[in-house]
Amino acid sequence: METIKLNIVKPNIFSESEVSGSEIWSKNLCFEKGKTYLIYAESGKGKSSLFDFIYCRRNDYSGEILFDKKNAKTLTVSQKKEIRSRNISLVFQGFRLFSELSAIENVEIKNRLTNHKTKKQITEMFEQMSISAKIDTPLSLLSFGQKQRVAIIRSLCQPFDFLLLDEAFSHLDETNYNTACTLIANEVQNQNAALLVASLGEAYKFNYNHKILL
């Protein structure tokens, strides 16, 4: 997948006056593979909604989202699953991890779809993110910051053309934040992927091609 195009997209719950001033809603915009984007806005402007639309989790919007030339609303269930396992990866703001599974099991579920990473590579990421001691611990017993690190590791255990980060560093201390940014930047570069970062305003430590107000 080389591009994701938004053609006059607007959440159904927003009026035209509510999206006035946005550089994304009700505009024509193209995200290109290999580029890095900061999408910033105050709370309530639809950052999570935007990523849900792109990830094909929701379709309660007007306008078109095109993956290359394919309209997202016309994709079959199997086509959406393929996109989520091969083309687009997302770190959810709410993690969306399985609390009854261990940290490593949450990551392995994703990795088994494509065998993108070896067990050694996954273990090394846990070590780099300073949660190797929690690798077999149920998610229900981890802190918010530990869960967020697991969610970040999980997002990197698949091939992708576009990586979406929905306020992905909100529970991390500076050391783990720096480590996470390095891991993400390296994986994005290795896959020549696009990075879309949603933020309340913090730019985070990436080199952006575009900064866009939502």
Name which of 125, 128, 131, 164 is nearest 145 in CA terms.
131
Chain centre to alpha carbon of residue 125: 18
In the prediction, which pLDDT does 164 show? Answer: 98
Instruction: Report strand pairing: 162-166 vs 194-199.
Output: parallel
- Total number of domains in the chain: 1
Q: Check: CB of residue 195 under 8 Å from CB of residue 165.
A: yes
Q: How does 91-124 read in b/e, with b if 16+ C-beta sit within 10 Å? A: bbbebebeeeebbbebbbebbebeebbeeeebee
In the prediction, which pLDDT does 109 show? Answer: 93
Domain that holds residue 99: 3-213
Give the domain CATH number at 200: 3.40.50.300
Q: Tens digit of pLDDT per residue, the chain (214 long)?
A: 999 999 999 999 999 999 999 999 999 999 999 999 999 998 889 999 999 999 999 999 999 999 999 999 999 999 999 999 999 999 999 899 999 999 999 999 999 999 999 999 999 999 999 999 999 999 999 999 999 999 999 999 999 999 999 999 988 999 999 999 999 999 999 999 999 999 988 778 899 999 999 9
